[in-house]
Amino acid sequence: MASPPVIPDLPPAPTRSDGPADFTPKADVMIAALQPMIVKQNELAAWMNSQSIAPGLPSITGNGNKFLKVSEGAIGLEWDEAGQLIGDVLLTSRQVASNFLRTDGSIYLQSAYPDLFAQLGLLGGVSGQTWSLKASGVSTSITDVASDLKGVVIAIGASTSILRSTDNGETWTVIPGVLPASQTGKCIATDRKGVWCIGHSNGGVRSTDNGLTWGAGGVGAVSIDTDGLGTWIAAREGTSQINKSLDNGVTWTNTTVSSNYLYAVCTDRKGVWVVAGIEGAMRRSADNGLTWSPVTLSSATSVVVAGCPKAIATDGEGRWVRVNSNTSISSSVDNGVTWQSAVGGLTTTPAAAFTGVAASGSGAFSAVGVGGAIITSLNSGASWTYPTTPLGGSAGNSIARLSDSGLVSVAVAGKIAVSRAVFSYDSATQFKTPTIYDPSGLSSYIKARRTP
């Protein structure tokens, strides 16, 4: 901001004690300085006016219970509703203004509520039904993939290079020399704010510029996740320990949480974490990894218990799925407290040893496995169907959700397949509000416009 104009001091004034020889020259100099001082005063007044945030206050009529704020363009002051921003959900027993919409899954035009659509995006899409192969630029095995849910997707594998996409997996760029020689990338995750960590066979690397450049950081692990707020947890290969970082992946400490080897870790980004190990071992934390409690598989079969867990996923709404290396799948609908074996679809050809799982929407999950089979569940993992084998028989390794509610899956031989979400409404012009089930006597709304 520019500095204000400075009004200079006036020269010394004549006094009655001055003799004639001194009084007249002092008076002349002082009088001559008065007009320039007025010019400087006017300059200062103009500067102060230019810094004013508003020429005047808006009327208070009809604006009860509102607050005064600087307008979005910083050109004045305006009244606004107290308490909520666009996209905030309000649970109330009172009547609300017309700039709120019910959270009941209704369909609206994007053009009618552009700011709300920018916050919500497209909800309710179903992925995993149709797939298309994308050119990766590599022929080596791709072992894991992650997305920031904003369009950036990064895949790693049995190479010193990584693959990076900025268009939700449609096209890919090879970034060479990220991983040490002879080290296979095992796992990757992001805080969705620009920080990524990769675990490889003998350590890890870390990026703070959304995967463009990489340096020291990360940790050697087979599975890794973050709450997006600085806490990272990784399952160490062939041990009963987890590695934990509280400074966004810079430094790590070891903690033993199980007597069995751990292979998979996942969080809902709301404080709940689940780690899984061999022989049915599972541990759950509800305090962001401070303490851990054993989890028992309800209705567990010997197949489930014997399987080595390969991946865990959650939709962030209390539903979780765990896939194993022996074709077994288990799921939870109470935020990981109790788990059940999936009973439908698992004996249908082509059954596979599963290696990756991802949530694509409320209650929708897809899993990938040996032979390239990708299976999909639309009921929180209770039953599954086999749409296609888009990876062409190549062993699938991992699967991740994309920002458009689609999915990306990676496999050996450099294969990448993408599934775009299918919506029940016109996703080019419409969107839907989330569905929130109201408690008795209350109704839920979402703020759609700044003013009624």
Q: What is the pLDDT of residues 116-159, one digit of tens each?
A: 998 888 888 888 878 888 999 998 889 999 999 889 999 999 88
Mean pLDDT along residues 418-431: 91
Q: Is the pTM for the entire model greater than 0.85?
A: no
Residue 61 has pLDDT above 60, yes or no: yes
Report the CATH superfamily, name and number, of domain 132-424.
Answer: YVTN repeat-like/Quinoprotein amine dehydrogenase (2.130.10.10)
Secondary-structure class of domain 66-123+431-447 per CATH: alpha beta
Mean pLDDT along residues 347-363: 71
Exposure string over 439-449, b if 16+ CB within 10 A, otherwise e: eeeebbbbbbb
Secondary structure of residue 31 in the 3-state scheme = helix
Contact 374, 132 (CB under 8 A): no
Please report, to the nearest 10 degrees, the dihedral formed by the alpha carbons of residues 249, 254, 257, 258 taken in order.
110
- Res 309: pLDDT: 65
- Res 349: pLDDT: 44
Contact 358, 313 (CB under 8 A): yes
- Res 55: pLDDT: 54
The pair of structure tokens assigned to 14 is 């004549």
| CATH 2.130.10.10 domain range(s) in the chain | 132-424
Residue 286 has pLDDT above 60, yes or no: yes
Percent of the chain at pLDDT > 70 equals 89
Model confidence pLDDT, tens digit, residues 197-237 = 999 888 899 999 999 999 988 788 889 999 999 999 998 87
- Res 301: pLDDT: 43
The Cα 397–Cα 158 span in angstroms is 12
Model confidence pLDDT, tens digit, residues 300-330 = 444 444 456 678 999 888 999 998 877 778 8
Closest CA to 319 of 263, 291, 361: 361
CA 177 to centroid of chain Cα atoms: 27
- Res 288: pLDDT: 94
Start-to-end CA span in the chain (Å): 35
Sign of the Cα torsion 374, 375, 376, 382 reads negative
Closest CA to 267 of 250, 242, 303: 242
* Mean pLDDT over each residue of the chain, to the nearest integer: 85
Across 189-193, 402-406, 426-430, least confident range: 402-406
How large is the C-alpha radius of gyration of the chain? Answer: 31
- Res 228: pLDDT: 94
| CATH 3.90.1340.10 domain range(s) in the chain | 66-123+431-447
Across 43-47, 152-156, 249-253, 311-315, least confident range: 43-47
DSSP state of 370: G
pLDDT band at 279 (very low <50, low <70, confident <90, very high): low
Q: Is 336 exposed, middle or buried (0-12, 13-18, 19+ CB in 10 A)?
A: buried
- Res 205: pLDDT: 94
Secondary structure of residue 66 in the 3-state scheme = strand
- Res 304: pLDDT: 45
